[in-house]
Chain A
Amino acid sequence: MHIRLKIWRQENSQDTGKMQDYELADVNSDMSFLEMLDMLNEQLLEQGQRAIEFDHDCREGICGQCGVMINGRAHGPLKNTTTCQLHMRSFRDGETIYIEPFRATAFPVKCDLKIDRTAFDRVIQAGGYIAVNTGQAPEANSIPIGHPVAEAAFDAAACIGCGACVAVCKNSSAALFTSAKITHLALLPQGAVEAQERVRRMVGQMDAEGFGHCSNTEACEAECPQQISVLHIARMNWEYNKAQLLKK
């Protein structure tokens, strides 16, 4: 395949950045998208130029570190796929591909396609856990959890924190990410005890980080690699309102 690329280059967070043109010949259609970028970097290196910085690690679709806008879509054209699991067979020979970092005020660009997603960590730090200490947990089977409940909690827990939901939202909302954790923990008996305090703190932190309000367009669910449902946002709102009403 012959591919034309327009890629966002930005030296550092202060730099204004710009799109730059590249061309690649002999791209194998079985290559992953990131392997195509590796190939481009090898080419740049041969020309003595700086490699394009992009985030990636496991390349199995599970760590959540990769993620760029490809032709205006988070993680590219396929549904429910991370960038590392996108393959060049999804593009046409001769196609021009636009690659940009995820854009959100709360996700500042560090360099080229690398962004800062530590805001997600701070949202979790605000209460995205069950406050249990190590070493003295009760026997696991002493808390039976019905299969459907466990499965529903799992559906929410499957979020990989890649940030695609934020990047595709016109308000840069982190509602899908935050609500997934809230649902996961609120559904389980172990986590239900702290549900009210948790939702208040996590939503508060989400706002403090500069994420916008949910836009109700459901673009987040459409682009989520893990098929996290927007129904979790409804649950988050319900949990939040309940917490506010019951606040002592």
Chain B
Amino acid sequence: MLNAKIPEGPLEDKWRHYKEHAKLVNPANRKKLEVIVVGTGLAGSSIAASLGEMGYRVKTFCFQDTPRRAHSVAAQGGVNACKNYKNDGDNVFRMFYDTIKGGDFRAREANVYRLAECSASLIDQAVAQGVPFGREYGGYLNNRSFGGVQVSRTFYARGQTGQQLLLGAYQALMRQVHLGSVQLFARHEMLDLVTIDGKAKGIIVRNLDTGEIQRHGAHAVILATGGFGKIYYLSTLAMGCNGSAIWRAHKKGALMANPSWTQIHPTSLPQSGEYQSKLTLMSESLRNDGRIWVPKKEQEDRLPNQVPEEDRDYYLERRYPAFGNLSPRDIASRAAKERIDAGYGVGPLKNAVYLDFSKAIKDQGVGKIREKYGNLFRMYEKITGVDAYQEPMKISPAAHFSMGGLWVDYELMTTIPGLFALGEANFADHGANRLGANSLLQACVDGYFIAPYTLANYLADEIKTPATDVQHPAFDAAAKQVQDQLHLLKGIGGKLSADYFHKTLGKILYDKCGLSRSAEGLKQAIGEIKALRQQFYADLFIPGGLTINSELEKAGRVADYLELGELMCHDALTREESCGAHFRVEYQTPEGEAMRNDQDFAFISAWGWAGENQAPIWNKEPLTFEFVTPTVRSYK
């Protein structure tokens, strides 16, 4: 039975109570304790810097050339915090409620409440680090509204909030590297987790420059490696984003929770051809001022500016008048797909909808719009060659954020003692759908404010444990397994590239385990993925050697995706309801809205690895709602 270790007591006292009773590590003992942090995005950099400050010995790893490139850098829109600066009635409970409702009542109450509770401190921390958030003329912080809420709680740094928050965390990390409390290993990729006596004790990494396989031991391992939305190939994620670290940990015993819940973001640029490597995200913040519409006439051939008001269908405002263009992402994405599938899509491939700023420009002036979104408009023009001040943007849904990830308890510890998962790498706070501007928040809060306490609670019992011996047979076995896999992949000697397999897998998943799913489609997908995996091990080709070799890196990640993709379909197949990002066509209302089933599916699916080509082991963590009553999630 999974124990989430939720503290007793009223919701608002749980975290305080935990902190008051958590075990501590004496400052003199911290230097005896080693911690590995994999990933240097917001979650990874913030926890590594925090632990370094506290006096632990930290090693941190990333596959990029520098921590400043982690994909947190690309989050544009903002970060949520219930500061109530706008005096519009925001508070911790309201933010908690919005988040849990936004996640379609498929997240833990205690975790979500803690997220809201810690949010205000994050803004304080980031401002102290010099993050240049948007300001009012009087000098006080400004904020704006985001999808799924009716108050202004999203703080922003132009359209580069993720970049600025990451630079804050990166700089804090660099300070610790300079002080010697954190050792940084850039261009290193984790290829396996090492467990000894059931506890996480280290990792095997590959130096991507030299090809050297290294062993690193520690008293605890933290995975902060982000999400795996790139499994769809075409996604909003950076090319290097992958699920390998968490998947390798899963194969060593950590449970994987709700893997099929991947958010499809409504405001990406549409696909324009087969050659495309990614779908660039336009910040959701654009929906504050942009109005979304499609022509009322099918196959409309007039240019957007020539389509008069009466011939436009502002379908979000029509269907969801209370939230309109700020409807949550899953609702907005599905509504766009519904219009596109019905034949009202726009653009050369008829796969987009319009995001129109003409009214906002008329009301506020072009200068104000430029100040708010200038860099996004510039980016749009670079990619499409279109000036969005003059004609509407074309946008389309795209795979984005993984709500699923490693199962963690309230302490952010996985089912392997000593292995923690932070940020998007865990499944914890967003339920079946993440509200905009909550991902930066979760990553930072996990790293700055939660894990420093919960990790200490674990490490307090490890003080007498000597440094991990990397010559232990468990390290030998893991290193050998990694070497064997690299040689296996190199030795296949087929004809097809890793990208070919990745694209093929992505298409299967997008069609059958994407915006909508059906039992029939998912069963087909499982069969197709199995066949593709067989083909991969028979027909892959990797040129080059075992040192710097991007193709080899990609192949390892695709090998993991080919297993993870099957688990995603399996998870989606067993969840016989529609909730959040998971829309099973068999379970919908006559109006086409998602139909949740709280009676039978108010639980988290946490899957165990049973071995290659074996059915995964299904564990359930029941969700109990003590403080809110799950309701039909209506944004009308």
Contact = CB atoms under 8 A, between A and B. Distances in A.
Nearest to B496: A45
Interface of B: 46, 49-50, 53, 64-69, 71, 73-74, 83, 85, 121, 123-130, 132-141, 157-158, 160, 163-164, 167, 170-172, 174-175, 177-178, 184, 186, 209, 238-240, 272-273, 275-278, 280-281, 378-379, 382-383, 385, 448-449, 452, 495, 497, 499, 541, 543-544, 547-551
Interface string A27-62: 010111011001100101110111101011111111
Given A57-B240, A146-B135, A150-B135, 19 more contacts: A12-B548, A32-B277, A35-B277, A45-B541, A45-B551, A57-B239, A85-B379, A121-B66, A121-B67, A125-B177, A133-B53, A134-B172, A135-B449, A137-B127, A139-B124, A150-B139, A157-B157, A160-B163, A184-B132
A132 B126 CA distance: 10
Nearest to A80: B378
A61 to B, nearest CB: 6
A51 B71 contact: no
B71 A57 contact: yes
B121 A137 contact: yes
A231 interface: no
Given A35-B277, A114-B548, A130 B129 contact: yes
A57 B53 contact: no
Contacts of B544: 50-51
Q: Top 4 nearest A-B pairs by Cβ distance?
A: A144-B139, A129-B171, A137-B128, A125-B178
A63 to B, nearest CB: 4
Interface centre among A39, A85, A128, A154 (most CB of B within 10 A): A154
Q: Does more than half of chain A's interface fall in helix, strand or loop, or is it mixed?
A: loop
B73 A62 contact: yes
B275 A129 contact: no
A124 B137 contact: no
B172 A38 contact: no
Interface in A93-135: 110-111, 114, 116-118, 120-121, 124-126, 128-135
Interface stretch (A185-193, A216-224, A232-240): A185-193
B281 A154 contact: no
Contacts of B178: 125-126
A65 B69 contact: yes
Given A45-B497, A62-B160, A157 B123 contact: no
Nearest to A36: B275
A87 B383 contact: yes
Contacts of B275: 28, 31, 35, 38-39
Contacts of A160: 163
A135 B71 CA distance: 24
Nearest to A128: B171
A125 B184 CA distance: 11
B139 A190 contact: no
A161 to B, nearest CB: 6
Contacts of B543: 44-45, 48-51
7 contacts: A34-B277, A60-B278, A65-B69, A129-B171, A134-B125, A140-B128, A184-B132
Given A134-B50, A140-B123, A150-B132, A64 B69 contact: yes
B130 A63 contact: no
A51 B171 contact: no
B174 A128 contact: yes
Contact of A81 (B132, B382, B499): B382
Given A50-B543, A130-B128, A146-B135, A58 B71 contact: yes
